[in-house]
Amino acid sequence: MLIIAHRGASGDRPEHTLAAYERAIDQGADYIELDLVATSDLALVSRHENELSGTTNVSSIEEFEGRRRDKIIDGQRMAGWFAEDFTLAELRQLRAKERIPSIRPANTRFNDLYQVPTLEDVVKLLRAKEAESGRRIGLYIELKHPNYLLQEAGIDMVDLLLRDLRKLGITADDPVYLQCFEVGTLQRLNQRSDFKLVQLMAEEGGPADEPGIYYGDMLSPSGLTEVAKYADAVGPDMQLLFGPEGIPLGLVEDAHAAGLQVHAWTLRKENAFLPPVLRKGEGEGGTGDVLGMVALLDMQGVDGVFTDDPGLVKQALGQLGASR
């Protein structure tokens, strides 16, 4: 099972920072996952969302008070500060902060220490760590809201990503996955490149660029056959894999039958993110039964797991292997 460090080791450091990525690599992650958004001067930077106030100190910087906007993104009204309204030089003034401080208060110790990294920054870190460790480390890249950015800001994320990968000397022969919740974006990437592609799927709704399609239909056997025409894997919410008692719903088997790998998201150690049967002690921030969750995924034959805690997942996989 591939260990995909979700936004880095974001259970230990503020997400999408070089510190979180480096910690994930040191903990043994196979891939580091980064979400990309674009600046007004067409730089690709790593943030979970194009709205910046949830993960940076932008709201406290007087110079940027006037940049606050109301926008409708993928049908949802949002208020805040958006990456596409800033240049890269302006974003470099920001510092990252913990996104869920109520559950991860220890991570707030690292607030305001780290800049927003570019894709190039992350690749340079990855190559330095490869040289240090002697092992290959993969990139797992998600394009965030590409249809919105193309329609509303004239920013083509597909063009920018392929441009930057080419400039950085990254090819389809390298360990790279490109992922998106949107269908058209992946189809364009499939036409223009040979990178491995992953169709992300949520428990509810459907792709923002295909309002008549629902993820539930895409996850049916016939839907998965269509996905396999342009993608190499599906990335479903883990809740789509199990019934209430942890009984498999057959998605992994159906995906494999269609020739697709399954990379499930997101395994987090805290009780707040685990099924009731796997919670331990009291409090949402307490550490639950990570080994139990990994065992459920392994039993189904899941090919990869996104996790905020790659060290714990690696340890759990080692325990499972030793018990066989």
Mean of the per-residue pLDDT values for the chain?
Answer: 96
* pLDDT at site 170: 98
CA atoms 83, 85, 87, 93: torsion sign: negative
- What domains are defined for the chain? 2-50+118-323 (3.20.20.190)
Asked if 114 and 92 count as a contact pair (C-beta separation under 8 A), the reply is no
Find out whether 80 and 117 touch, Cβ atoms under 8 Å: no
Burial of 66: CB neighbours in 10 Å, binned 0-12, 13-18, 19+ = exposed
Query: What is the pLDDT at residue 277?
Result: 87
pLDDT digits (tens, 9 = 90+) for 61-100: 999 999 999 999 998 999 999 999 999 999 999 999 999 9
Considering the candidates 16, 48, 145, 263, report the single residue annotated as catalytic. Answer: 48
pLDDT-derived band of residue 245, with 50, 70 and 90 as boundaries?
Answer: confident
User: pTM, whole model, 2 decimals?
Assistant: 0.97
Check 6, 16, 145, 263 and give the catalytic one: 6
pLDDT of residue 210: 94
* 145 is an active site residue: no
Question: Hey, is 78 helix, strand or coil?
Answer: strand
What is the pLDDT, as a whole number, of residue 246? 74
- Percentage of the chain lying above the pLDDT 70 cut: 100
CA distance 138 to 308: 16
Instruction: Please tell me whether residue 49 adopts helix, strand or coil conformation.
Output: coil
Per residue in 279-312, pLDDT (tens digit) is 998 889 999 999 999 999 999 999 999 999 999 9
48 counts as catalytic = yes
